[in-house]
Every structure is written in structure tokens, then in C-alpha cells.
């Protein structure tokens, strides 16, 4: 995952909600262009943070049953405030509805007590190996394994940060 938009998972209740955080740093590559005199996190990156939190909630809920989760639809998204270097985006995603092929969630990104972004997302659930190609089945397993490692890093970050605080 090239642009990991979450630093840690604070709370994870499968099938219900996830709370994760992302601290914006001044040396992030995209801030040089967006905007040089007033660097702010691009809206698309805030939306990506909402998607990534949604993805972890779904994976934790269905035990990585689907190797590929895609952002299929964004509804009623509102960008309400800027995120600048040094600030922390706290993302909360709540499970709304699901069926065999997708999950609908409500997602909010907060800066302190201020809403920075919110919306409803529709996340598609797929497997590359839904056909009978053995190579795609192997790709599914590789993706699942990689995602299990990534979520563990985000969960471990929570304990590392709390132990540093003590």
C-alpha cells in the first residue's frame, strides 16, 4: 500500500465500527504541490483514509474472505475543513448495510472536535479467483496474507504508542 493513510487503529469492533488515526507530517510528498504556501491534505487523501478504515473494518468482519475491496461509490461526501501538517485526522467508520457483493458504511474524519470530511461509502467485495484460474487463486491468497500483515501493523501501533506514553 503506497499511500497508507492511517497510522493506527484505536478501536475495532467487527461488523460495527472502527476508529483510526492519521497524523499529517510536513514532509509528505504531496504537500509540496498542494499548496506550497498553505500545505493541506488533499481531499482525495482524506477520502482515501475513510476508504482504508472501511476496508479494515470489512476485512476484520469477514475474516479476509474477499481479497479485493474496492471503493465503488461515494455518496454525500462533504469536505468541511482543512488538515494541515501536525494535525491528526481521526476516522470513524460505522457499518450500515451489507449484502453478498458490497458493504455500505458511514464515515467521518475529524480534526479535534471539527468535522473535516464525511460521507457514505459503498465498498465492493471481490476475489480475483472467482473464476477457475489457479494463478488468480494464488494472487487472492497473497493479497489476504499481505492485508493480514498490514492490519496487524496498525493494531500493533496502538500498543507501541501507549507504551511510549508511559
List the catalytic residues. 34
The span from the CA of 64 to the CA of 58, in Å, is: 8
Contact 66, 57 (CB under 8 A): no
Residue 128: strand, helix, or coil: helix
The span from the CA of 115 to the CA of 150, in Å, is: 27
The span from the CA of 51 to the CA of 75, in Å, is: 12
Amino acid at each position: 500500500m503506497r499511500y497508507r493513510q492511517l497510522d493506527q487503529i484505536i478501536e475495532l469492533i467487527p461488523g460495527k465500527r472502527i476508529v483510526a488515526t492519521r497524523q499529517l507530517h510536513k514532509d509528505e510528498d504531496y504537500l509540496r504541490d498542494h499548496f506550497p504556501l498553505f500545505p493541506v491534505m488533499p481531499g482525495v487523501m482524506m477520502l482515501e483514509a475513510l476508504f482504508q478504515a472501511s476496508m479494515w473494518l470489512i476485512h476484520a468482519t469477514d475474516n479476509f474472505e474477499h481479497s479485493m475491496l474496492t471503493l465503488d461509490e461515494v455518496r454525500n461526501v462533504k469536505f468541511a475543513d482543512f488538515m494541515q501538517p501536525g494535525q491528526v485526522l481521526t476516522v470513524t467508520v460505522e457499518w450500515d448495510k451489507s449484502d453478498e457483493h458490497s458493504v455500505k458504511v458511514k464515515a467521518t474524519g475529524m480534526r479535534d472536535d471539527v468535522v473535516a470530511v464525511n460521507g457514505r461509502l459503498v465498498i465492493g467485495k471481490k476475489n480475483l479467483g472467482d473464476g477457475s484460474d489457479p494463478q488468480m487463486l494464488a494472487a487472492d491468497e497473497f493479497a489476504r496474507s499481505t492485508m493480514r500483515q498490514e492490519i496487524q501493523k496498525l493494531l500493533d501501533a496502538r500498543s507501541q504508542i501507549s507504551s511510549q506514553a508511559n
